[in-house]
Structure 1
Amino acid sequence: MRRVAALLAALVLAGCASHGEGPVPPRTVEAVDLARYQGTWYELARLPMFFQRGCAQSEAHYNLRDDGSLGVLNRCRTLDGNWKEAHGNAVPQVDGRTDKLWVRFDNWFSRLLPGIAKGEYWVLYVDDDYRTAVVGNPDRKYLWLLSRTPVVSERTRERLMEVAEGQGYDTDLLIWRTPDSALNDSAQHP
């Protein structure tokens, strides 16, 4: 009986010792110049996610507002060529830090639960020219490889993959942008 009690006590202590410890979150960039970050970003690849199901091509349009927040317009083109849009707002998680943002979209869920309906948008990498970026979240469930152009060189693609893999993301699960030639031509980009 003492051995069983000792074993249970050891298991409980081991559980307590590891409680609260989890994987180290990914590293973000030092700072993001939001004035340079604004504009259009094309999604080259992403990890699977519920709200982007059915998206063949996605793009994000950011505009810096007078209050320091970013206006967000996300667009998704489906395989049949139709576009879906979501409008939102991004603000720093910590005042004065621009590498970690909260993003809220204007939808029924965020109106119903405004304190909960926000996503973490961590800028993990942005090149010196603000032409490519890697964005994720701390639990590594979400990841986007972004570019100012919808197509990049193989070398650029490999560099973005290296960054993502180096941050602990499973790049084998990435969903890549569907080429224009594979989309229905009946719906043109507005």
Structure 2
Amino acid sequence: MKWILVIALVAFAGWLLVACSKDENASPNQTLAEYVDLDRFMGTWYVHGYTPTPLDKNAYNATETYELEEDGKIQTTYRFQKGGFDGKWKTMTPRGWVHDTQTNAEWRMRFFGLFTSPYYILYVSPDYKETVIGHPDKDLAWIMTRSANLGDRDYERLLLELAKRDYEMAKVVRVPHSAD
């Protein structure tokens, strides 16, 4: 039984490495946010829509928190409950950095200390209460706000930010929050 788990983890790590790192040095071919004020962007965001991966499939109460460190790196904490509101809490802590310092909208994230992936801030509202994040392959995306509550009309409006950039909309799943 243990060897099956090891094989599965190695296969998944290989898939993740290929999926997330193949465009590490790609330049954006899509519209990114014009400029991101890093100090205003830091803090906790509630994830309302996302493209699930095998690591975070069936996420509930998902949040992503960013903290700008003195060395310019961005400590990220992604937390969610697996499978339901009573599910076990899972936490991932990738570290990021700004790749494009002209706009601060293109980052790189390092996961598990093994691989790096592009992270594009596609949209951030003027009041820094809503954001839409994407990956250059347009197969991964996140819709986040500063509030655990997000009405259907606002969620649909933020989905349009992805649709305008030709993201794979069929893969985006709404994340339930207990405050809904």
Specify the TM-score bucket, using the shorter chain as the normaliser. 0.7 to 0.9
Match of 1:145 in 2: 143
Q: Is 1:158 equivalent to 2:156 in the alignment? A: yes
Give the TM-score normalised by the residue count of structure 2. 0.76
Aligned ranges for residues 111-150 of structure 1 at < 5 Å? 113=114, 117-150=115-148
Match of 2:25 in 1: none
Match of 1:44 in 2: 48
The amino acid across from 1:103 in the alignment is M
Aligned ranges for residues 28-107 of structure 1 at < 5 Å? 28-78=32-82, 79=84, 80-105=86-111, 107=112
Match of 2:13 in 1: none
Name whichever of 165-174 and 140-149 sits farther off: 165-174
| Cα distance in 1 for residues equivalent to 2:116 and 2:94 | 10
1:11-70, Cα deviation, whole Å (9 max, x unpaired): xxxxxxxxxxxxx83210122111000000011011232221232231111111122221
Contact 1:60-1:72 within 8 A present in 2 as well: yes
| Cα distance in 2 for residues equivalent to 1:95 and 1:145 | 23
Question: Cα RMSD (Å) of the superposition?
Answer: 2.0
- Cα distance change of structure 1 residues 147 and 158 upon mapping to structure 2, 3 Å threshold: same
Match of 1:7 in 2: none
Contact 1:25-1:139 within 8 A present in 2 as well: no
Unaligned runs of 5+ in 1: 1-23, 183-190
| Cα distance in 1 for residues equivalent to 2:117 and 2:55 | 12
Indicate the structure (1 or 2) with the bigger Cα radius of gyration: 1
Percent identity among equivalent residues? 26
| Cα distance in 2 for residues equivalent to 1:137 and 1:177 | 19
Q: The residue matched to 1:180 in structure 2 has which SS?
A: coil
Off by >6 Å, runs of 4+ in structure 1: none
Contact 2:62-2:177 within 8 A present in 1 as well: no
| Cα distance in 2 for residues equivalent to 1:44 and 1:54 | 12
The amino acid across from 1:151 in the alignment is N
